Amino acid sequence: MRSPMIPAIALAAVLALAGCAPTSDFSADAAASLGARVLAITEAAQAADYPAASARIDELRAAADDALARGEITSERHASILSSVALVEADVDGAITAAEAARIAAEQAAETAKQAAADAEEAAEDAAQKAKEDAKDAADEAKKIAEQAAEDAKKAAEDAKDNAKP
């Protein structure tokens, strides 16, 4: 699934990459090296591998610092790159936060579903036990009624026999 953060990440990466075009304030080697790092960030972000994207951001920042120290880029170009990197980093951090929130929500939903299933199973067991008890009570009541009817029939037969005698 493509993250909604990818367009913003890609835009920031394009801005950073545009800042890597070789000019008089930027050596061709530095442009190629930093451009490749920007591409690695973009690819990691598009793959939703945010920890890797975050690591690549740190590497890009260090590479820009090294290029500045070696005189391969001007301080203005360095500031521009770091500004673009900050935009990308904010998007990646936001994506990491969103992914973690989604993971936590999924875990909570799974736990809620598990608890609901356990509650439903317990309710079904309780209902089955209650039905069994109700059936036993009904059978006991039917037995009492049948015994009483048999006793009444026996008494009626005896009364009829006594009344039939001359």
Whole-number Å distance between alpha carbons of 52 and 103: 18
What would the pLDDT profile of 47-103 be if each residue is shown by its tens digit?
Answer: 989 999 999 999 999 999 999 999 999 999 999 999 999 998 999 999 899 989 999
What would the pLDDT profile of 100-148 be if each residue is shown by its tens digit?
Answer: 999 999 999 999 999 999 999 999 999 999 999 999 999 999 999 999 9
Whole-number Å distance between alpha carbons of 133 and 138: 9
Closest CA to 85 of 20, 26, 3: 20
Residue 2's pLDDT band, with cuts at 50, 70 and 90, is very low
Q: What is the pTM of this model?
A: 0.58
**Max Cα-Cα span within the chain:** 142
What pLDDT, on the 0 to 100 scale, is given for residue 8? 54
Residue 40's pLDDT band, with cuts at 50, 70 and 90, is very high
